[in-house]
Every structure is written in C-alpha cells, then in structure tokens.
Amino acid sequence: MKEILNVKNLKVQVEDKVILKGIDLRINSGEIHVFMGPNGAGKTTFANAIMGNPIYDISEGEIYFKDKLINDLAVDERAREGIFMSFQAPIEVPGITVENFLKTAKTAVTGETQRVMPFKRELKSSMGKLEMNPDYASRYLNVGFSGGERKKNEILQMSILNPTLAFLDETDSGLDVDAIRIVSQGINDFHSEENAIVIITHQIKLLEKIKPDFVHVFVDGEIVKSGDMSLALDIEKNGFDAYKKEVE
C-alpha cells in the first residue's frame, strides 16, 4: 500500500470567503474514501482544490500527490499526474462526440496518440460494462443524455483515463435503482490496489454496494469525524445535527 495523497493543513477560500479551515488527510492506494456532510460544508471545495480549479485559492497548506508537491500545478498538469474529478452536473458539449472527446483526453493525459481501432475496442468494451448503447459514442457529449446516462458517461471517462486518484462528486445523484447498480459495478470494476477513489455523496445506496474503507464528515470547512461505514449508517439514521454541534 502506497501513499497517494497527503494533504496538510489545507485552507481554501473563494474571493474573501474562507471555505476550508485546515484539512489534514492521507489517502493510500487501494482505499475508497467517502465525504459526507451538509450542503456547503466544503466537500466539493476540497476536491476542486486538489484538482487545481483556479477559482479556489489555497491560502495555506500543502498538497502532496505521490510524494510530489502539486500546489502550483495547473489542472491539466494534475490530470497528467493521475488525478480525475467527475462533474456533479455534467454539461452538454455540442460538436464534440463522446468518442473524440475521450480519445483526445486520453492522448493528452497519457502523452501517447491513441490508435483508432484499439481505442474503439477499448471504448466499446467499457461502454458494454456500463450497459451504455454503443450509439452514444458517436453522439455529442452529454447532448440529449438523461441524468443517468450523463453519470454513466462520467464513470466511462474515469475508466478510459485510468487515473490514480478519482474524485466522484455526487455520481449517484438522481440515479434510479438500475443505474445505481450499474454505476456501482463500474466503480468496483475500476477500483484496484493501484488507485484510490473519493466519493462525495448524501446517501448510502451507492456505498452499500461499494463498501468504503473510510467515511469523513465535513462540517463548516472541517473534517469533524472519520470512521468506517457505520458512520454513514449513523448519518442515514440520525442526520448531521450531532456533528454540527461539534463545531458550535
């Protein structure tokens, strides 16, 4: 088991608003971590800060990815290092097909030009595992996709790009029972001892099929408690009130 991410005293703000107030967190290879917490607690901000979204200003702290300090790296540089983040609300991109988008993204991330036929076979295989109609490969990215198809497409991107660390931001939001099953299987198929996954969620349906190693509760820009799946079950039953009181 190798250390993938080591975050020390991370403080982040957007313009003058302080959002993260000093996060310490280590993530090792083979681990699945879950972030839970009320809206506005800092979960998505953490993922964006690690991904390098320039909107989020790191005022203090250090981010080490595979022992390399990445505070000053741009988003594309972090992607090439092996960090991936799914969109909470994937946008439509008219004019760019799913296949061309993924082939171009993989070429950019790996630095290797993708040969047409091997890439088509890989794409077809990955789409089959996610029970996606192969016709979606030739459709414009997310244009006319249902909510479930958009979320499957995010998992497809993760599978094709094969990152070392993946942040999945509310990937389970709005999915029906069948889509939850397919997406969770896609995550389990991707997960290995060589990578790590962080899932941001408000519900436990996905977690029951994935079995995370650690659950962290965010409240007001801090991690107020960490534990195992029992923590997620307690939140499902009792809500966040008890954890909010810890920061009052």
Q: What is the mean pLDDT of residues 75-97?
A: 95
What is the per-residue pLDDT across 155-170, written as a single tens digit (0 to 9) for each? Answer: 999 999 999 999 999 9
How confident is the model over 32-42, as pLDDT tens digits? 999 999 999 99
pLDDT (mean) for 91-118: 96
**Chain position carrying tokens 């509310």:** 170
Give the 3-state DSSP-derived string for the chain, with helices as H, strands as E and coil as C: CCEEEEEEEEEEEECCEEEEEEEEEEEECCCEEEEECCCCCCHHHHHHHHHCCCCCEEEEEEEEECCEECCCCCHHHHHHHCEEECCCCCCCEEEEEHHHHHHHHHHHHHCCCCCHHHHHHHHHHHHHHCCCCHHHHHCEECCCCCHHHHHHHHHHHHHHHCCCEEEEECCCCCCCHHHHHHHHHHHHHHCCCCCEEEEECCCCHHHHHHCCCEEEEEECCEEEEEECHHHHHHHHHHCCHHHHHHHC
Between CA 53 and CA 49 the distance in angstroms is 6
Mean pLDDT of the chain: 95
**Residue 29 above 90 pLDDT?**
yes
- The one-letter code for the residue type at 139 is R
Residue 246 reports pLDDT greater than 70: no
* Distant-in-sequence, close-in-space partners of 237: CB < 8 Å, separation ≥ 6: none
The whole-model pTM stands at: 0.95
Structure-model confidence comparison of residues 246 and 23, the more confident one: 23
> How many CB atoms are located within 10 Å of the residue 5 CB?
22
Is the CA virtual torsion 159, 160, 162, 163 positive or negative? Answer: negative
Nearest to 35 by CA among 151, 171, 129: 171
Q: How much is the pLDDT for 56?
A: 96
